[in-house]
Structure 1
């Protein structure tokens, strides 16, 4: 399975030529306008920086190699009272599973973690303010035990929401040898992929 970070919390998943876009954004400082083709698009919630479906040109329908599961969570730590709900989705193809946590704003309950289940990779927000912060994101990863972690939803000047934190506080919580700064935005997820993958934009 190929994963490409398109910026902010937006990713492209590809398997056997089938393309899925997750949480397309618009209006996020620094990032260029998003325009991409895909067979399907999924959004964790309805905010502008996660739900810009008009930026995705849908390709002709074909059978998907992905199965998709959903786990309902919240965009804050007050049961959704501040920012509403958030849908975690687990995408499985080619024997590998990836969980996109959207704008998760709280620690997972035991029931939610069990519902997400074993996954190979987790795409986790780390910037705080609107989501879990660095420590909260690390705790979520510890609860899910993925082999691979990809941080998202952080500020890296000139890109991203200026009020959220950078990725560095999250990376500092991991052993240095576990952190891999990639030379591009994409990587192949395999059964051997392990550690914290930090794509470059």
Structure 2
């Protein structure tokens, strides 16, 4: 991925200051997950996934495809892909694709026309924040807007989104290309989070210290890192957070999760990927 000039270390501090100075206009009245609620085009790479759904009621399957893309599968056979792009894709066409515009590795210029719902995390018309709340089969998906650093060096208000996936009473939040700390309005809009998928690179997205604070505020029982460009940035994050949460490293990129089987205390689960 080509590094934009606006992401150079000398500019990051200025952009971060601008982001923190102006609050995001995320919708704070969004109903959250509640306990009672049941550029250069590169060849597309596809993860090697051959498993059938075979999920019991209340379960969800997550597969780390790579970068910021996860495949989320429901017992009813609905499939969603996060930060769907033209570089790394799941082998199967998802029913729902969420996207963010921070970089071309987080969105697609040519989404598969068979996708039933393509949900950009920004409003392509520029009229304001994206607003998505859809239900397809046994999966509900909604977004919470966030700000990003624009390529011109300013703040792009509501330029990205975090997406929440609700499968029965299980709530999964994908933080996308998050660039700033979460405010109370974001937390109210997200609602209860059982599983959080979060970036840990610490430079293109929010710095690692800030990401630790985000995770503390969410209090999700399962925390799965993404967007770490190899092992060094991931290991730095794990070293920074080792006194806060236990870490489980899995040998495969797929995990099956159920609300009833969540760990007793918040746990970081590392899936193979990049």
TM superposition score category, shorter chain reference: 0.7 to 0.9
User: Aligned pair in 2 of structure 1 residues 105, 128: CA closer, same or farther (>3 Å)?
Assistant: same
1:119 is displaced (CA, Å) by: 0.8
Match of 1:171 among 227, 231, 238: 238
TM-score, normalised on structure 1?
Answer: 0.82
Alpha-carbon distance, 1:117 to partner: 1.2
**Equivalent position to 1:11, from 48, 70, 77:** 70
Structure 2 unpaired stretches of 5+: 1-59, 118-134
Q: Write the deviation string for residues 77-122 of structure 1: whole angstroms up to 9, x where unpaired.
A: 9xx9256621011110121000011000010011111111111011
Q: Unaligned regions of 5+ residues in structure 1, if any?
A: 158-164
Pairs within 5 Å for 1:1-201: 1-16=60-75, 17-27=77-87, 35-45=91-101, 47-52=103-108, 54=110, 56=112, 58=114, 63-76=136-149, 81-82=154-155, 85-156=159-230, 166-172=233-239, 173-175=241-243, 178-191=246-259, 192-194=261-263, 195-201=267-273
The structure richer in helix per residue is 2
Give 1 or 2 for the bigger CA radius of gyration.
2
CA distance in 1, matches of 2:204, 2:217: 20
The 2-side partners of 1:186 and 1:90 are apart by 19
Report how many residues are paired.
188
Q: Structure 1 residues 109, 140: closer, same or farther in 2, change over 3 A?
A: same
CA contact (8 A) 1:35 1:56 kept: no
TM-score normalised by the chain length of structure 2 = 0.61
